């Protein structure tokens, strides 16, 4: 008769769950059960106990099977396994001199656990009927054996009681965690609703501001207009930045909600950067900075929503201007790379510490760099990360050449 055997993976799982191994050559000499058996007549033992040998990994009995036989471990070790072998609920080991499957001697119900040979084991089996006959032969043997089984059952009952108490405690903790999770979910929902409400309420005054600026340029005398051109330019740029911030907040809310963003199309990075340079012309001039563009003439377009990627480029360029020293160079580079386009913004600032390079993209994260205190709400880089990843790209920051400055890099898929 072929015996069932665990797969290599199942056997590895069971062995990994065991404590420090016992010497398989150890025998049951001196144990209580063996002492009791040795007090009986050898002929009687030969009649009621049958020797079984199992190789390592073989299944002695399987959980759920009916059985009327218990085993005394003479040498080697076995594992008592509850649940699936790949993911057992519990694993206990039994060594020489111990009895396994003893419940089948008392009742004839399905096995509550599987027994697996961990080593090449030698077992002495006794059937239920033979066990009761053995108890009737010697009253002392009967009393002592019942005491041993009673102690095992009492220990099992105590373990069950402890496990039940632990289970109740864990259930209570799970209920608390579920309650806290639900409260956090409601809080996050309210936060999103508040963000959308604030954003929508900002749109009207921003629209009025844009109309007022355009009206001023139309009605002001030429000399007054020229004298205040710088102020009007500051107001215009501030309006555009505020509009970008409002749009970014709306996009973040849409991404969080799993809704699709704007329509994607073949988008040229150089065209977007020309718009970004126009937006930042005033800031670049004031800080006496130059912005160099490194784009190959055959740079392929990317498959993207142009408005969102323009805002990504605007945020990265604005950060580069803000953190770079006055007069420092800025370089924006784009190159094709294995079906993607890699875009980088290089500044001459103090750089980002290694431990902050992941944290810097978190929402509301504000990292002080080179003694420069951050301003704003830490949404710019968070938006960049969400927008780029929504386009199936990725974004990261690394040190500039020679360890000077920072190089913010993101990738986008090329348009087909």
Task: Say how far apart CA 123 and CA 100 lie, in whole Å.
Answer: 10
318-344 confidence digits (pLDDT tens): 889 888 888 888 999 999 989 999 999
41-98 confidence digits (pLDDT tens): 666 666 777 889 999 999 998 988 887 888 888 889 999 998 889 888 888 888 887 8
- Given this model, what pLDDT does residue 54 score? 93
Task: Say how far apart CA 367 and CA 305 lie, in whole Å.
Answer: 29
Q: Where are the domains of the chain?
A: 8-137, 184-256, 265-413
- Given this model, what pLDDT does residue 180 score? 85
Candidates 303, 275, 273, 277; CA nearest to 290 is 277
Class of CATH domain 265-413: alpha beta
Q: Would the pLDDT of 379 be above 80?
A: no
Calculate the alpha carbon distances from 2 to 8, 93, 119, 173 in Å: 18, 24, 18, 47
Q: Which two tokens stand for residue 198?
A: 């604030």
Please report how many Cα atoms fall inside a 13 Å half-sphere around the Cα of residue 246, on the Cβ side. Answer: 17
- Given this model, what pLDDT does residue 327 score? 85
- Judge contact between 10 and 86, C-beta under 8 A: yes
Task: Say how far apart CA 335 and CA 328 lie, in whole Å.
Answer: 23
Rg (CA), the chain: 38
- Which one-letter DSSP state was computed for residue 369? B
Least confident of 64-73, 370-379, 392-401: 370-379
Task: Say how far apart CA 304 and CA 262 lie, in whole Å.
Answer: 9
pTM above 0.95, yes or no: no
Instruction: Give 8-137's CATH code, choosing from 3.60.70.12, 3.40.50.970, 2.60.120.10, 1.10.540.10.
Output: 2.60.120.10
For residue 261, how far is the Cα from the chain centroid?
A: 26
């Amino acid at each position: 008769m072929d015996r069932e055997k665990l797969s290599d993976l199942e056997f590895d799982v069971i062995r990994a769950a065991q404590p420090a191994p016992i010497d398989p050559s150890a025998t049951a000499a001196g144990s209580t059960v063996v002492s009791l058996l040795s007090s009986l007549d050898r002929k009687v033992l030969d009649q009621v106990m049958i020797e079984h040998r199992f190789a390592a990994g073989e299944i002695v009995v399987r959980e759920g099977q009916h059985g009327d036989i218990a085993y005394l471990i003479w040498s080697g070790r076995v594992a008592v396994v509850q649940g699936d072998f790949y993911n057992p609920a519990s694993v206990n080991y039994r060594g020489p001199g111990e009895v396994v499957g003893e419940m089948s001697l008392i009742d004839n119900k399905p096995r509550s656990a599987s027994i697996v040979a961990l080593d090449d084991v030698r077992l002495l089996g006794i059937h239920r009927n033979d066990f009761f006959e053995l108890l009737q032969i010697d009253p002392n043997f009967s009393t002592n054996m019942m005491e041993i089984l009673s102690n095992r059952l009492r220990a099992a009952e105590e373990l069950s009681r402890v496990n039940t108490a632990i289970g109740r405690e864990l259930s209570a903790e799970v209920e608390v965690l579920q309650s806290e999770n639900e409260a956090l979910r409601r809080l996050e929902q309210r936060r999103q609703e508040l963000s959308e409400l604030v954003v929508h309420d900002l749109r009207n005054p921003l629209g009025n501001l844009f109309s007022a600026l355009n009206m001023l340029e139309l009605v002001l005398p030429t000399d007054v207009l020229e004298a205040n051109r710088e102020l009007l330019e500051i107001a215009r740029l501030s309006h555009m930045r505020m509009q970008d911030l409002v749009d970014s907040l709306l996009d973040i809310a849409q991404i969080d909600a799993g809704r699709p963003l704007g329509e994607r199309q073949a988008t040229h990075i150089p065209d977007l950067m020309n718009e970004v340079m126009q937006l930042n012309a005033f800031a670049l001039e004031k800080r006496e900075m130059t912005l160099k563009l490194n784009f190959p003439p055959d740079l392929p377009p990317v498959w993207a929503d142009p408005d969102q990627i323009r805002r990504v480029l605007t945020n990265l360029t604005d950060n580069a201007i803000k953190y770079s020293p006055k007069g420092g160079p800025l370089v924006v580079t784009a190159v094709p790379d294995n079906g993607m386009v890699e875009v980088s913004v290089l500044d001459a600032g103090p750089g980002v510490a290694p431990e902050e390079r992941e944290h810097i993209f978190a929402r509301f994260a504000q990292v002080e760099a080179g003694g420069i205190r951050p301003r704003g709400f830490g949404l710019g880089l968070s938006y960049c990360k969400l927008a780029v990843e929504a386009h199936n790209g990725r974004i990261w920051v690394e040190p500039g050449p020679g360890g000077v400055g920072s190089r913010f890099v993101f990738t986008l898929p090329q348009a087909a």
